[in-house]
């Protein structure tokens, strides 16, 4: 693949669409009385999914019970998009209320330092981009066919989690038809465009947080594993730099939703 020549991007500015997306997010952040955005309906759907999963799997290994939560959520999660959105999938299922920190907790936290795991977790996004959901599901099934004991239990959980993820993606494709050409192909194969790659990375990020809403997960070397898709699109003339800039802006605005008030500025 030829290398795209270096181009000065300093003149790029957010499009009207991106400005509207940003203004909408700013309004939501200002209206929220909390440091993160949370949709009560989505939080309720997740809570109900957890309840159903744990009731149905009483006595089973914990890893299988947690995988069932993903299945239940994927089948029932809200999947909608604002008319200007270029990427879909919401991470607003975090409950806003939980146990308060004790004074002892507050005093101990600064000393934990690097013992804390928040933002120190990086998943293999590149593997998902290169191989896609279907190939990963097939690989798990091949391993499961010869696995025994704890390994088989773990692989059963992995298989259910990947099936749930495929359901999650398919649900968004069905409920946001204007983006079906971007989302639909991701169920059966790896992404072929920069837009599809960004969407898949975001889907992975959201679904990881369904399993554990309270953890911070880094994107890792986002630039390295997404560049081949952007380079190919630019070389083929499928998008221009303004299109790519708008997609990147839309992605970063998505990332602002679960973080804190004011980050979109």
**pLDDT tens digit string along 13-61?**
889 999 999 998 888 777 766 556 666 777 888 889 999 999 999 999 9
User: Is residue 157 over pLDDT 90?
Assistant: yes
Percent of the chain at pLDDT exceeding 70: 80
Could you tell me how far CA 94 lies from the centroid of its own chain? 14
Burial of 31 (0-12, 13-18, 19+ CB in 10 A): exposed
Q: Tokens 């994927």 belong to which residue?
A: 74
The per-residue pLDDT for 72 is 97
Answer whether 70's CB lies under 8 Å from 211's CB: yes
Q: What percent of the chain has pLDDT over 90?
A: 57
Q: What letter would DSSP give residue 86?
A: S
Does the pLDDT at position 1 exceed 50?
no
Quickly state the pLDDT bin for 135 (edges 50, 70, 90): very high
User: Which residues have CB under 8 Å from 232's CB, separation 6+?
Assistant: 1, 193, 194
pLDDT of 98 strictly over 50: no
Greatest CA span in the chain, whole angstroms? 60
Exposure string (b/e) for 215-249, b if CB count within 10 Å is 16 or more?
Answer: eebebeeeeebbeebbebbbeeeebeeebbbbbbb
**Radius of gyration of the CA atoms of the chain, in A:** 20
């Amino acid at each position: 693949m030829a290398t795209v020549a270096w181009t000065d991007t300093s003149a790029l500015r957010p499009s009207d669409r991106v400005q509207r997306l940003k203004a909408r997010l700013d309004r939501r952040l200002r209206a929220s009385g909390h440091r993160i955005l949370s949709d009560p309906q989505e939080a309720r759907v997740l809570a109900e999914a957890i309840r159903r999963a744990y009731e149905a799997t009483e006595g089973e290994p914990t890893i299988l019970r947690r995988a069932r939560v993903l299945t239940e959520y994927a089948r029932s999660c809200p999947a909608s998009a604002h008319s200007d959105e270029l990427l879909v999938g919401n991470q607003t299922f975090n409950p806003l209320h939980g146990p308060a920190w004790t004074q002892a907790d507050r005093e101990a936290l600064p000393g934990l330092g690097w013992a804390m795991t928040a933002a120190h977790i990086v998943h293999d996004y590149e593997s998902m981009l290169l191989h896609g959901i279907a190939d990963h599901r097939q690989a798990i099934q091949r391993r499961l066919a010869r696995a025994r004991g704890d390994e088989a239990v773990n692989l059963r959980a992995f298989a259910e989690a990947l099936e749930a993820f495929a359901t999650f993606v398919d649900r968004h494709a069905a409920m946001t038809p204007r983006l079906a050409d971007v989302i639909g192909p991701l169920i059966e194969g790896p992404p072929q465009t920069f837009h599809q790659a960004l969407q898949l990375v975001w889907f992975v990020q959201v679904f990881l947080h369904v399993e554990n809403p309270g953890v911070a997960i880094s994107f890792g070397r986002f630039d390295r594993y997404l560049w081949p898709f952007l380079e190919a699109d630019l070389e083929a003339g499928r998008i221009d730099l303004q299109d790519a800039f708008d997609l990147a802006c839309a992605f970063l605005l998505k990332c602002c939703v679960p973080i804190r008030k004011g980050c979109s500025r």
